[in-house]
Amino acid sequence: MRAALMTTPGQALELVDDVEIESPRAGEVKVQLHNCGLCHSDLHFIDGSLPGPTPLLLGHEAGGIVTDVGAGVLDLSEGDKVILTLRPPCGRCFHCVRGEMSLCETYAGGLFPDGGTRLSRAGELVHRSGVNLAAFAESTVVPSAAAVKVPEDTPLDVASVIGCAVQTGVGAVINTAKVEAGSTVMVIGLGGIGISIVQGARIAGAARIIGVDTNEARREQSRHFGVTDTIDPMAGDTATQVVEMFGRGVDYAFDAVGSSALVETCIGSIRNGGMAVMVGVPKITDQVSLHAILFAMGEKKLSGCFLGSSNPHQEFPRLLDLWRNGKLDLDAMVTGTRPLDEINDAVADMQAGRGLRTVLTIS
């Protein structure tokens, strides 16, 4: 099958047509991929900020049609339209039985529990990244729990962004931080994840939502999604501007970029008793520094957030309902579409900060 492989970090993805894909085994399904969004988590592997074995097949924000079903799969059939999730819940591990589905241990990392990837090229293993789906390709094999069935009339070019950006951003607000109506919220980074956080804050009833980004066009664009105030971090220290704006900082601050320096900015921007949430994926070497006594005595809180702390089988239908009822704008988040052959152009757009989300059309 055709696929876009990372063969060397820091270089263009290689478009090939000879990747071999196995049939699904027990508990697995094969999905013909129609669309896949590009995410900064993919970029971290492409530029080498996150290590990964090569050749590596990336892509994890995808939707398609089930074409083959392994033994024992009862809830999916050939022809079902699905959105994929990169951390499928097994329902049995330590975290799943505690309701922490996004921390499932069974399918963490790039291998199936038996050590395989179901992918090869010229007899050699093709790896999956830690984001697991291998969706920059015509088809993929995934655990059945990774495929969430959606209504037949769901447009996958729009809905595919639910699989990572929207699930993560909206979930960070609703599930991780549990933002209350009337709260004040700051979001640093107004790309796909950041705009999803903004929309989650709007849905939660936040009274004021502050958008922070060095890109003026993104700051202006963010108002469409619910931002009420914007801050240009190049105009002065962000935390100082926030404190001047509110007197004592915001209730909640979210880093949607994945930067230790910006997490520290979030901590400095929240009021005593407030919460800072790390949503973006940082470099593996990043460390966050805290002024311990002020942090402790001010009862500030710092939380991580992976995939919006959500159960995709509950979250995806909820997000689609919000979209269908006009409360969640998915359409405006997709600012570009490209065929798989133009994936390196799409990566360049992402690196340059052009648009919010580019979605690949695969089949």
Give pLDDT tens digits for 118-163. Answer: 999 999 999 997 677 999 999 999 999 999 999 999 999 999 999 9
With a CB cutoff of 8 Å and minimum separation 6, the contacts of 218 are 190, 191, 211, 353
Element (DSSP H or E) covering residue 41: helix 40-46
Which residue, among 57, 53, 59, 47, has the nearest Cα to 11 in the 3D structure?
A: 47
Query: Model-level pTM?
Result: 0.95
What are the Cα distances from residue 95, in Å, to 30, 131, 146, 246?
26, 18, 16, 38
**Computed from CA positions of residues 318, 322, 328, 334, in that sequence, does the dihedral angle turn out positive or negative?**
positive
Element (DSSP H or E) covering residue 351: helix 343-352
Query: What pLDDT was estimated at residue 77?
Result: 98
CATH 3.40.50.720 occupies which residues in the chain?
166-306
Which residue, among 55, 58, 241, has the nearest Cα to 164 in the 3D structure?
A: 58
CA angle 236, 239, 240 (to 5 degrees): 60
Distance CA(324)–CA(7), nearest Å, equals: 40
CATH 3.90.180.10 occupies which residues in the chain?
3-154+330-361
Measured in degrees and rounded to the nearest 5, phi and psi for residue 293 equal -70, -40
Amino acid 183 reads: S
**360: its two tokens:** 């690949």
Query: What pLDDT was estimated at residue 130?
Result: 67
Query: What pLDDT was estimated at residue 149?
Result: 98
Give residue 48's region: left, alpha or beta (phi > 0; psi -120 to 50).
left
Instruction: Classify domain 3-154+330-361 by CATH number.
Output: 3.90.180.10
Topology given in CATH for the domain delimited by 166-306:
Rossmann fold (3.40.50)
Which residue, among 328, 336, 327, 338, has the nearest Cα to 356 in the 3D structure?
A: 336
Distance CA(62)–CA(162), nearest Å, equals: 9
Tell me the pLDDT tens digit for each residue of 39-63. Answer: 888 888 898 888 889 999 999 999 9
Classify 67 as helix, strand or coil.
strand
Residue 30 bridge partners (DSSP): 68, 141
Upstream peptide bond of 55 is cis (omega within 30 degrees of 0): yes
- Low-confidence residues in the chain, pLDDT < 50: none
